[in-house]
Amino acid sequence: MNKIDITFNVFSDTPKGKDPDSHSPTLRKYHQILWSKPLPDGRMFELDLDTPKLLHHKSDIGEFFLSSDAIGHTYKNVKKMSHILDQLQPGELDSFFHLCTTIGGFIIFPSKQINRKMTINGSRGVHHRIQDRFDLTLECIRRYYFQETSPLFETFKRYSSFFSLFKDFKGYVDYFLLQDLVKPNYTEIKFWHPFESFDNSPLPNDIDEYYLFKDKVVKFITSRNERIKRFSMNI
């Protein structure tokens, strides 16, 4: 029996004006179902829902408090993108946004601050070189596992106990069903927007670039939803 509805809009059971990451019961339950499984080393990583709004694990592995975070972003609420989004055809942005509200558009990260410093979720959202793009976040994660610098390297170092759970970059990618965002050798990211370095703007510069960005995000979330569907049917 398939326990995950990959078409479910997580805003549909979220109170008006609230964030699904913390207020959608279905999204939280889906995360628990998907990510309660053996780690790459075979140890079981069971998640419970005993902590309001969060997911929790406690065992001899350690204790972890985790929260949902969005993967797909339309940038409809970013003012400096409005002149580009205004050029979209009617319904295009709504369709894009709806896909981003399905389970394929979400992941989990540690939720507790360490030394009163920003979490992963917060850091990737406010850093001007990342702008909440998950493909760039994944490139930072790839570099972290290879001990290479990135805009999020210091943040990831604070959460080393979390990343060590997955052994290496391939382990992380496979665990969270992110294979469609990396090339087969796991050494390169399939970027949603041309990437040369973190010195370049992470946001599309015009409508043509936005369409290319949108198409790649749509392709990834659609593919990940299908991967999640296949995985959940075997749980």
Q: Is 136 helix (H, G, I), strand (E, B) or coil?
A: helix
pLDDT digits (tens, 9 = 90+) for 178-205: 999 999 999 999 999 999 999 999 999 9
Confidence of residue 147 (pLDDT cuts 50, 70, 90): very high
Distance linking the first and last C-alpha atoms of the chain: 9
Residue 66 belongs to a domain: yes
Question: Which residue bears the tokens 């394929």?
Answer: 104
Residue 83 belongs to a domain: yes
Quickly count: other Cβ atoms within 10 Å of residue 13's Cβ.
13
Residue 61 belongs to a domain: yes
Q: Which letter, b or e, does each residue of 26-60 get, where b requires 16 or more Cβ atoms within 10 Å of its Cβ? A: bbbebbbbbbeeeeeeeeebebeeeeeebbbbeee
Confidence of residue 31 (pLDDT cuts 50, 70, 90): very high
> Residue 235: is its pLDDT beyond 90?
no
- Per-residue tokens: 110: 């540690």
- Per-residue tokens: 214: 């949108």
Residue 84 belongs to a domain: yes
Residue 1 belongs to a domain: no
Confidence of residue 21 (pLDDT cuts 50, 70, 90): very high
What share of the chain in percent tops pLDDT 90?
A: 97
| Domain, as residue range, for 85 | 10-232
Task: Please give the average per-residue pLDDT across 149-158, as a whole number.
Answer: 97
Alpha helices in 51-200 (DSSP H): 82-85, 92-100, 120-126, 134-145, 153-158, 160-163, 169-175
pLDDT at residue 2, rounded to an integer: 57
Contacts of 86 (CB under 8 A, 6+ apart): none
CB-CB contact of 111 with 119 (8 Å): yes
pLDDT at residue 3, rounded to an integer: 86
Residue 2 belongs to a domain: no
> Residue 1: is its pLDDT beyond 60?
no
pLDDT at residue 214, rounded to an integer: 98
Task: Please give the average per-residue pLDDT across 219-229, as a whole number.
Answer: 98
Residue 142 belongs to a domain: yes
pLDDT digits (tens, 9 = 90+) for 75-120: 999 999 999 999 999 999 999 999 999 999 999 999 999 999 999 9
Residue 130 belongs to a domain: yes
Quickly count: other Cβ atoms within 10 Å of residue 114's Cβ.
13
For the chain, the domain total comes to 1
Distances (CA, A) of 64 to 6, 75, 112, 160, 169: 26, 30, 9, 12, 20
Confidence of residue 219 (pLDDT cuts 50, 70, 90): very high
> Residue 153: is its pLDDT beyond 60?
yes
> Residue 4: is its pLDDT beyond 70?
yes
